Structure 1
Amino acid sequence: MMSLLERFIVKINKQSSPEEIIIQMVEISKVFTHAVSVLTCKEYSIHINRALQYIKRYYAEKITLNQLARYLGLSPSYLSSQINKETHLTLAGNINKIRIEQSKDLLLNSNKPIKEIADAVGYNYQNHFNSIFKGIVGMTPLEFRKKGC
């Protein structure tokens, strides 16, 4: 059986362009970052840790409170109050924060158009993505890319 690292090396070797390799490297980074966060994240309760892990894994998809509560075996109202209490953000705020962190990697490490990055991290509309990004980061995605933050 191949190790995780060996599987990623095989995937990278199958890529045909530098952009595809960069995208694969971002995926590798996500997996290892997630693994480290699972091992080191003791700040939150087990339910909130699992909720955040779920969001980090499925951030590009539509995530609803009911869906997440069902996954965790909790009531939606209890989950919502615990997320707010422990993270000081709403569920939507946590999803946006994670999506924007992922988009920052893509902005800096690829030449993809911003619309494509918005789609890749779960935003259907570039204007909405731009607004959320600016609210969290303090500048537009294009400004962020140009500054190379």
Structure 2
Amino acid sequence: MNVAGSKFHGSCLCGAIHYEVDEIQHEMAHCHCSMCRKFHGAAYATFGEARSEHFRWLAGEKLLKSYIAQNGTVRQFCSQCGSSLTFHAPGGTDGFVEFTLGTLDDEIEHRPDAHIYIGSKAGWCEIHDDLPQFWESRDSQQVK
């Protein structure tokens, strides 16, 4: 959580899109699914979550583009620089916005608390922390 009255700010790589978050939820995860790996061009993507009423676009919202995957997930990104910004599960937002922690401009106290979708993680990626690991989502089999 944040200090009372403070807000967190984030932006894309080119600085055209800015957002603000009033309160970040405690659950944050490193997602190792193949779609996150491909979309981010990295071993995994790290997401935070905020209630929809605590997340707002401040600038550049018209530059957001969406990619809808075959499984119905929606990933929003900057049309100018390609920065990945948000993720929505199939069927809507469920009152929450998942956003990429790497786009935050401010430091946060909380740290990711799990690795998810390790069943499809890159073989060359080794996990060296003690966070719980889930084969798929947090509701699936915990591997470690």
Fold agreement, TM-score > 0.5: no
Q: Which structure has more helix as a fraction of its residues?
A: 1
Bigger share in strand: 2
| TM-score when normalising by structure 1 | 0.27
Larger Rg: 1
RCO greater where, 1 or 2, for CA within 8 Å and sep 6 or more? 2
* Length-normalised TM-score, structure 2: 0.28
